[in-house]
Amino acid sequence: MSLRSICVFCGASSGTNPIYAQAAVELGRTLATRGIRLIYGGGAVGLMGIVADAALAAGGEVIGIIPQSLKRSEIGHNGLTRLEVVDGMHARKARMAELSDAFIALPGGLGTLEELFEVWTWGQLGYHQKPLGLLEVNGFFGRLCSFLDHLVGEGFVRPQHRAMLQSSGSAEELLTLLQGWQPAPAKWAEQTQP
């Protein structure tokens, strides 16, 4: 699978541990050195600003998508290759998905999780066939992954849909996993129960 553009979901905060910022720098640089365009939420603060700045510093192309209502509070990044201002959150997510060949989540809060789960649900329902990944940093996603495995065990998520979400502690390895990913059948394409 060819990955020309990857959407990164991440916090508008940097978190309490400097390792999160280091991971954002690593991811931004890795995307740029591989010639992969970064698509993200357009903010200049937190991990959002860090991943964008790292990609730009490494010569990468960065496109930010930000709602007008958040442009001021997230301090829209003015140094990007392109900053698109849209009407709202739904338009933001749709535009980021439209521009991207894959999705990666760095550590973040409720917005990061909401964006990840929405795009994952779209994939499960067959609205797209794009890979998703978690950049695991300092065990940040460990409990989430355990809970996702619990959902499979309890029959609420099919194993093939759980496997749609790749995970690695290395940006390089995660990109390799995403490039090798094969789409699962859409949820309703199968007639059996989970």
Going by DSSP bridges, is the β-strand pair 37-40/62-67 parallel, antiparallel, or unpaired?
parallel
Q: What is the pLDDT of residue 74?
A: 60
Residue 28 near residue 55, CB atoms below 8 Å: yes
The residue segments making up the domain with residue 94 are 5-139+166-179
Residue 8 near residue 36, CB atoms below 8 Å: no
Q: What is the pLDDT of residue 194?
A: 47
Residue 41 near residue 11, CB atoms below 8 Å: no
Q: How many CB atoms lie within 10 A of CB 20?
A: 24
Q: What is the pLDDT of residue 159?
A: 93
Does residue 17 form part of some domain?
yes
Question: How far, in Å, CA of 165 to CA of 68, rounded?
Answer: 30
Comparing CA positions, the residue from 70, 81, 83, 162 lying closest to residue 111 is 70
Q: Could you tell me the pTM of the whole model?
A: 0.93
Question: Which alpha helices (DSSP H) does the chain contain, by range?
Answer: 18-33, 46-57, 68-71, 89-99, 110-124, 142-153, 159-162, 171-180
Does residue 155 form part of some domain?
no
Question: How far, in Å, CA of 21 to CA of 92, rounded?
Answer: 24
Question: How far, in Å, CA of 1 to CA of 117, rounded?
Answer: 22
Does residue 192 form part of some domain?
no
Q: What is the pLDDT of residue 70?
A: 82
Does residue 184 form part of some domain?
no
Does residue 154 form part of some domain?
no
Does residue 51 form part of some domain?
yes
C-alpha of 184 from chain center: 19
Q: Which residues of the chain have pLDDT under 50?
A: 191-194
Residue 38 near residue 8, CB atoms below 8 Å: yes
Instruction: CATH number of the domain at 52, please.
Output: 3.40.50.450
Does residue 28 form part of some domain?
yes
pLDDT in tens, 103-149: 999 999 999 999 999 999 999 998 999 999 999 999 999 999 999 99
Q: How many CB atoms lie within 10 A of CB 189?
A: 9
Does residue 119 form part of some domain?
yes
Question: What is the total count of domains within the chain?
Answer: 1
Q: What is the pLDDT of residue 76?
A: 86
Q: How many CB atoms lie within 10 A of CB 167?
A: 18
Q: What is the pLDDT of residue 75?
A: 84
